[in-house]
Amino acid sequence: MKTITINGKTHEVDVPDDMPLLWVLRDVLGMTGTKYGCGIAQCGACTVLIDNMAVRSCQTTMDMIDAQQITTIEGVGETENGRKIQTAWLEKEVVQCGYCQSGQIMSATALLNSNAKPTDSDIDEAMAGNICRCGTYVRIRDAIHTAAA
Ligand code: FES
Ligand code: FES
C-alpha cells in the first residue's frame, strides 16, 4: 500500500512499483482527465505536475513517487497559475477536439510557475513536447501570453 497526494488529497493505492502514474490516475482512481496518447513520452497528453514541474505520467512509475505533490487537470484550476491558464484558454477559444488539451494546460501552467513572463521562444521551448494534431499551437501561445499579462 502506498500513500500519494493528488490535488491536495491523500490516496492509499495498492499497486505495483512499476505501474505508471497514468494508469493509477485513470484506472485505479478514476481520474480520467489525464489522457493516454503514445505511452512513450512523445506526445505530452499525459502531462501532470509533480511539485509544480511538468512530467509525463506515462513514464513516471510508482516507485519514483514518494511525498511529492501531484497536480492533475482535475485540480490545476485551484492553483493561481492554473486558473489564469484555464481562463485564458477559454477566452482565446484554444480547444478543438480537446484530446491533447489537459496536457497542454498542465505544461503551460508549469511554464508560468517557473517563468512569469515567457517570450515566444520560451513558450515554444516549454511546449515543444506537447503535440496537438488539431494544430492549436498559435492560440496556445496567445493564451499563455494572455495568462501572463
Ligand atoms: S502518453 Fe505520455 S507522453 Fe504520450
Ligand atoms: S485540440 Fe485536438 S489534438 Fe489538440
pTM score, whole prediction? 0.97
Looking at the chain, which runs of residues are DSSP E strands?
A: 2-6, 9-13, 47-50, 53-56, 69-71
131 lines ligand 1 (CB under 6 A): no
- Of 37, 71, 105, the residue at which a domain comes to its end is 71
Q: Which ligand is nearest to the CA of 132?
A: 2
Q: Are residues 36 and 96 in the same domain?
A: no
Domain that holds residue 66: 2-71
What is the percent of the chain with per-residue pLDDT over 90, rounded to a whole number?
Answer: 99
Report how far ligand 1's centroid is from the alpha carbon of 45 (Å). Answer: 5
Checking 47-51 for CB contacts under 8 A at 24+ apart, the result is 47/102, 47/103, 47/104, 47/106, 47/107, 47/110, 47/130, 48/21, 48/72, 48/73, 48/106, 49/76, 49/106, 49/109, 49/110, 49/113
- Express each pLDDT in 11-31 by its tens digit: 999 999 999 999 999 999 999
Shared domain for 64 and 98, answered yes or no, is: no
19, 54, 71 — which closes off a domain? 71
Cα 87 to averaged position of ligand 2 atoms, centre (Å): 18
Mean pLDDT of 49-78: 97
Residues 87 and 49 in one domain: no
Read off the CATH number of the domain in which 110 is found.
1.10.150.120
Query: Per DSSP, what are the bridge partners of residue 57?
Result: none
